[in-house]
């Protein structure tokens, strides 16, 4: 047996730690009326996540030498211009993500120090956003110096957060036996409590679920390293889906034992507070059930500080390099953005990140309350981040259209029409979730959700125009 091959079970665990996180459980619980989210999890896994993961497997198998980048899949199946747009979308999505990591890191630090959510939420929003902006500028400077000392810490923090998520479920289910008088919430499992109301709030929140289950394209480079890919990869992905759905279900039930959805939905302020503080309250309550005070809370908060800030550096640096290092996309990018400093960092690209992410942070200075800021960023991320998944499904349909040209070792489905249906279905679900997710009862949040992706898309269209004019100018001067 080839020593470089990996078992399907190993791949399933690798993918699980990449896709799933504790925040997904909380967001689902808060946005979908407690345990009612379980219905949506099952639906989304069956109709979206499983075909998505298996399509990624086929793309990874077809382009085994391309390193698994979505833009390289687009370039191989369509044109270099579309490949540029795919790379741009991947980078642009991280602008909102970077803004949320700055805010999330500060929030986690506040919990580690003050051990409550009220202190942070009581600070003036303007002051909090100014500190958040300074944190962004500092980490942009770190990235510009080619210093990425936090990359290993990011892996460590990611692993520890994953362990904490599993630990939360296990400890919460054992808690009633350890502390029977802990004041747990009684849950009733019937059609009324489990089947959601399919109203405007439900459909405009679906982007939260789509955002939660996306990102498995990161494991596509490993498709051909699995033993017997045609059988091993789908087995790994189906196992991944089962593990994720079990964690989503058990995590939701564990949270349902702690929090009453009526309290979450009592007011806009209560909703914002749970969205902002819920994960910390969960570990604080868990520590109280076990009579160990705030120990678990502090461990979780510190892991989150390291995780958020290390991810911030990587998110400033890595997506930018993926866009600007790509030789096929460079002809559409103005030369000023390709400028590197002595540390090998794309300085003007990093400045653009600072301006765009900084603008989101500074605009939110006018939002009343720090908790409302984090709620806005959660929704904004759920609108922007899934936009990059659209290119995965576009690449898959382009691959199947040219299936005589490419011979992947693994295929999701053999039938061409079935394959095209699933590609189109997942594309439509993603696009609809992003568009519907833009709506919000708060006019400021609604405007932010619409304007941000529009500005980023417009910038992506303008840059190739600038690059074209530069070339024409050089050609005229040369003549």
Q: Which residues of 319-339 are buried (b: 16+ CB within 10 A; e: fewer)?
A: bbebbbebebbbebbbeebee
Phi, psi of 148 (to 5 degrees): -125, 60
Greatest Cα-to-Cα distance within the chain, rounded to the nearest angstrom: 86
Q: Which residues contact 113 (CB under 8 A, 6 or more apart)?
A: none
Q: What's the angle, vertex CA 468, arms to CA 465 and CA 474, rounded to 5?
A: 145
Contacts 24+ apart (CB under 8 A), 239-243: 239/8, 239/9, 239/12, 240/12, 240/15, 240/16, 240/19, 240/53, 240/216, 241/45, 241/49, 241/50, 241/53, 243/12, 243/16, 243/20
Distance, in Å, from the CA atom of 398 to the CA atom of 414, rounded to the nearest integer, reads 15
Question: What's the pLDDT score for residue 1?
Answer: 43
**What one-character-per-residue DSSP string does 88-116 give?**
HHHHHHHHHHHHHHHHHHHHHHHHHHHSS
Compute CA distances 84 → 15, 131, 145, 324, whole Å.
27, 34, 26, 10
Distance, in Å, from the CA atom of 466 to the CA atom of 24, rounded to the nearest integer, reads 40
Looking from the CA of 363 toward its CB, the CA atoms found within 13 Å total 17
Q: How many residues does the chain have?
A: 479
Question: What's the pLDDT score for residue 148?
Answer: 59
Distance, in Å, from the CA atom of 381 to the CA atom of 275, rounded to the nearest integer, reads 14
CB 218 within 8 A of CB 55: no
Distance, in Å, from the CA atom of 215 to the CA atom of 217, rounded to the nearest integer, reads 5
What's this model's pTM, rounded to 2 decimal places?
A: 0.92
CB 360 within 8 A of CB 432: no
Taking only the tens of pLDDT, the chain with its 479 residues reads 455 688 898 888 888 877 888 899 999 999 999 999 999 999 999 999 999 989 988 988 888 776 547 888 998 999 999 999 999 999 999 999 999 999 999 999 999 999 999 999 999 999 999 999 999 999 999 889 876 566 677 777 778 888 899 999 999 999 999 999 999 999 999 988 899 999 999 999 999 999 998 888 877 777 778 888 878 888 888 888 888 889 999 999 999 999 999 999 999 999 999 999 999 999 999 999 999 999 999 999 999 998 898 889 888 988 898 888 878 788 999 999 999 999 889 999 999 999 999 999 999 999 988 999 999 999 999 999 999 999 999 999 999 999 888 888 888 999 999 999 999 999 999 999 999 999 999 999 999 999 999 999 999 999 999 999 999 998 888 76
Compute CA distances 461 → 15, 82, 85, 127, whole Å.
33, 11, 8, 35
Structure tokens at 284: 């604080």
User: How are the residues of the chain apportioned to helix, strand and coil, as percentages rounded to the nearest 5?
Assistant: 80, 0, 20
Q: How many helices and strands, by DSSP H and E, does the chain display?
A: 21, 0
12 burial (CB, 10 Å; 0-12 / 13-18 / 19+) is: buried
Question: What's the pLDDT score for residue 396?
Answer: 96
Q: Which residues contact 26 (CB under 8 A, 6 or more apart)?
A: 255, 275, 278, 279, 282
Phi, psi of 190 (to 5 degrees): -150, 180
Phi, psi of 108 (to 5 degrees): -65, -40
Distance, in Å, from the CA atom of 324 to the CA atom of 337, rounded to the nearest integer, reads 8
Q: Which residues contact 397 (CB under 8 A, 6 or more apart)?
A: 420, 423, 424, 427
* CA 110 to chain CA mean position, Å: 23
CB 112 within 8 A of CB 301: yes
């Amino acid at each position: 047996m080839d020593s470089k091959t990996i078992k399907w079970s190993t791949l399933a665990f690798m993918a699980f730690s990449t896709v799933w996180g504790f925040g997904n459980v909380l967001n689902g619980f808060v946005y979908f009326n407690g345990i009612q989210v379980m219905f949506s999890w099952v639906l989304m896994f069956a109709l979206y996540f499983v075909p998505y993961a298996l399509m990624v497997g086929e793309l990874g198998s077809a382009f085994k030498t391309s390193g698994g980048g979505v833009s390289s899949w687009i370039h191989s199946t369509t044109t270099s211009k579309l490949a540029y747009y795919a790379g741009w979308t991947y980078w642009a999505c991280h602008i909102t993500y970077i803004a949320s990591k700055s805010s999330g890191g500060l929030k986690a630090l506040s919990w580690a120090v003050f051990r409550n959510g009220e202190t942070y939420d009581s600070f003036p929003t303007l002051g909090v956003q100014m500190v958040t902006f300074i944190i962004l500028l500092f980490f942009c400077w770190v990235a510009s110096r080619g210093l990425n000392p936090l990359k290993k810490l990011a892996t460590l923090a990611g692993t520890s957060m994953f362990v904490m998520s599993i630990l939360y479920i296990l400890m919460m289910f054992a808690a009633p036996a350890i502390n029977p008088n802990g004041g747990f919430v009684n849950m009733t499992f019937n059609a009324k409590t489990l089947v959601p109301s399919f109203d405007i709030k439900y459909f405009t929140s679906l982007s939260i679920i789509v955002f939660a289950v996306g990102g498995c394209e990161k494991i596509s480079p490993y498709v051909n390293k699995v033993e017997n890919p045609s059988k091993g990869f789908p087995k790994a992905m189906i196992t991944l889906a089962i593990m994720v759905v079990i964690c989503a279900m058990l995590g939701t039930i564990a949270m349902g034992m702690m929090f009453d959805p009526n309290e979450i939905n009592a007011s806009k302020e209560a909703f914002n507070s749970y969205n902002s503080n819920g994960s910390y309250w969960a570990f604080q309550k868990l520590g109280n059930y076990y009579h160990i005070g705030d120990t678990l809370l502090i461990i979780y908060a510190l892991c989150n500080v390291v995780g958020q800030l290390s991810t911030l550096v990587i998110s400033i640096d890595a997506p930018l390099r993926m866009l600007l290092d790509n030789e096929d996309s460079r002809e559409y990018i103005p030369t000023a953005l390709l400028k590197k400093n002595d540390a090998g960092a794309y300085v003007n690209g990093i400045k653009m990140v600072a301006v765009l992410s900084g603008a989101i942070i500074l605009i939110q200075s006018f939002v009343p309350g720090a908790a409302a800021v984090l709620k806005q960023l959660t929704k904004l991320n759920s609108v922007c981040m899934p936009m990059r998944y659209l290119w995965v499904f576009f690449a898959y349909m382009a691959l199947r259209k040219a299936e005589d040209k490419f011979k992947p070792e693994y295929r999701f489905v053999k039938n061409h029409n079935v394959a095209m249906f699933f590609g189109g279905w997942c594309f439509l679900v993603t696009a609809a979730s992003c568009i519907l997710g833009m709506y919000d009862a708060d006019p400021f949040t609604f405007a932010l959700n619409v304007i941000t992706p529009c500005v980023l898309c417009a910038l992506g269209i303008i840059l190739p125009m600038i690059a074209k004019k530069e070339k024409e100018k050089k050609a005229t001067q040369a003549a």
